[in-house]
Amino acid sequence: MKKFICLLAAIAIAASAQAQLKLDSARLKYILSRLYLYEKITNDIYTDSTSSDYPQLVSRYTFRALTQKDYSKITIGENSFSKIGRFATVNINSDESKFYFTPITFVQSKDPTKGPFRFIHSVDFSGEVDDQNIFDFKNKKSIRGSYSLTWVLNSYKFNPKRDVAVHAQIVKSVRTDLTDLYQKAATDAAGYLAVSDDLEDTTKLAIRDKVKKRFFDNLDQVEEKYYNDKWGTKRMTWMKLNFAPLGWDNFSYIDPAQPTTKSSPADKSVYTGSLKVSVNQLLTFPSGKSQFYWAVYAAITRKHSLSEISKPVQWYNMQRLTDSTVTVADDKKVFTLNDATFKTAYRPDAGAQVIYLLTPYKDMSIGLDVATSFAGLVADRSGAYVNRTSFGLLFPFLDKNGDATINVEVFYQRKSYIHTTLANEGIWGIKFGLPFNSL
């Protein structure tokens, strides 16, 4: 008898729990009304040609989400003044070793329901390190911290005409599928568990937001799959403003006019703030197997007499042990300069870059990179500058989804000095880029 009573109690508890794992009729009615509302709003916006980021082939939410995804996959560009999103780059050659690092980005209206994807804020770091060991920060030459504002513009072309009736059927199918999903949650526990994340909070506001997200996320998935092969050329354009209020060149030097510096080189730190602006455009052609990128930029930077033109030499502090024996007590890289004639001034820079990227297979890509720049110099003669022109082969290594995991570029650079007595030179180098594929 006692066992029978315990069994009945267990059955009653299980039945009670089963009853609780169901969506009540009041909340179901509210959710279904919201789904109808989202369907109506989506269709109304699709037929409205006055929207700022419209008309497009897909719904407004899907288009905003699509552009964010496409921009997050951009991995080409010239360092921090033009790149999109988070990344890390190391540039190594016989002349210098530089690094660029953007660890932090903030996207305004990241949620497509909150507004169009327009602005990206980021924090950037860059500098020069030892040319023999990029991890040797003891001989670090420069460090900069900057803030960047990126303004994105889009012009996506599509091959078929916009079909309002077809699009309405797609939206209706999403609403119908979700209606069935929530109705199952009102009839059995398994159906409830499938959407339990949407129903944990009992407030209407919380339920509304979660149901809204599920509706538009599902619509995004369906539209992306249906319209994926119907896009024409995707033209992505962005302007980037990079302001570096924190920047210093740090180095040791020997001044022939100061004998003490020969035995103990002096240290110097020079402020090198800068302001840069660039215009960039990436064209992705309909096949998706080729891309064309171009960029132009201009900048003004506080420079000094050693900027762009001087290289350090190895200095050794020799100490005598015996009459015939000496030892190296210390060594470091130093510059030779005349402190009395050392100058600082703001100088302009400008440049351009063109990249053609070909992806014949999903996991294979190769590109040609051509870039040129003109950097103003602080020299005795006005109008002095150095021109750097480079030609590189770019090899993005792709994962199984076709996203870049690391970019490797082998390049040749020609340096030409104008209005100076310095000799022109050519150097080979290699760049390593680590895109995070994320905004």
As given in the structure block, the two tokens for residue 240 are: 């980037």
pLDDT value, residue 18: 45
pLDDT value, residue 437: 59
pLDDT value, residue 187: 86
pLDDT value, residue 319: 58
Q: What is the pLDDT along the chain (439 residues), one digit of tens a residue?
A: 555 444 444 444 344 444 457 778 888 899 899 999 999 999 998 887 655 555 688 999 999 999 988 888 887 766 655 677 777 777 776 666 788 888 888 988 888 888 888 899 999 888 886 655 555 544 557 888 999 999 998 888 887 788 889 999 999 999 999 999 888 888 888 878 878 777 777 788 888 888 999 999 999 999 999 998 888 889 999 999 999 999 998 888 888 888 888 878 888 889 999 999 999 999 998 877 889 999 999 999 999 988 877 777 777 665 555 555 545 546 677 788 877 788 899 999 999 999 999 988 777 789 999 999 999 999 888 889 999 999 999 988 877 776 777 888 899 999 999 988 888 889 898 888 777 656 6
pLDDT value, residue 137: 47
Q: Please tell me the CATH code under which domain 70-160+233-251+274-305+347-435 is placed.
A: 2.40.160.40
> Are the C-beta atoms of 88 and 101 separated by less than 8 Å?
yes
Domain ranges, ordered by start, for the chain: 22-61+161-229, 70-160+233-251+274-305+347-435
Element containing residue 429 per DSSP (H, E): strand 425-435
Instruction: Report CA 416 to chain centroid distance, whole Å.
Output: 31
Helix, strand, coil shares of the chain, percent, nearest 5, are 30, 45, 30
Q: What is the DSSP string of 225-276?
A: HHHGGGEEEEEEEEEEEEEEEEEEEEEEEE-TT-THHHHSPEEEEEE--EEE
d(CA 194, CA 261): 75
pLDDT value, residue 13: 38
pTM for this entry: 0.81
pLDDT value, residue 323: 58
pLDDT value, residue 309: 75
pLDDT value, residue 4: 46
Q: Smallest Cα–Cα separation from 69: which of 80, 58, 81?
A: 58
Q: What is the DSSP string of 76-110?
A: -SSGGGT--SSEEEEEEESS-EEEEEEEEEEETT-
> Are the C-beta atoms of 87 and 433 separated by less than 8 Å?
yes
Phi, psi of 403 (to 5 degrees): -90, 145
d(CA 53, CA 83): 23
CB burial string 404-436: b at 16+ within 10 A, e below: beebebebebebebeebebeeeeeebebebebe
pLDDT value, residue 294: 94
Q: What is the DSSP string of 1-52?
A: -HHHHHHHHHHHHHHHHHHHSS--HHHHHHHHHHHHHHHHHHHHHHT-TTST
pLDDT value, residue 318: 55
Q: Which residues, 6 or more positions from 254, have their beta carbon under 8 angstroms from its beta carbon?
A: 261, 262, 265, 266, 315, 334, 335, 336, 337
pLDDT value, residue 138: 46
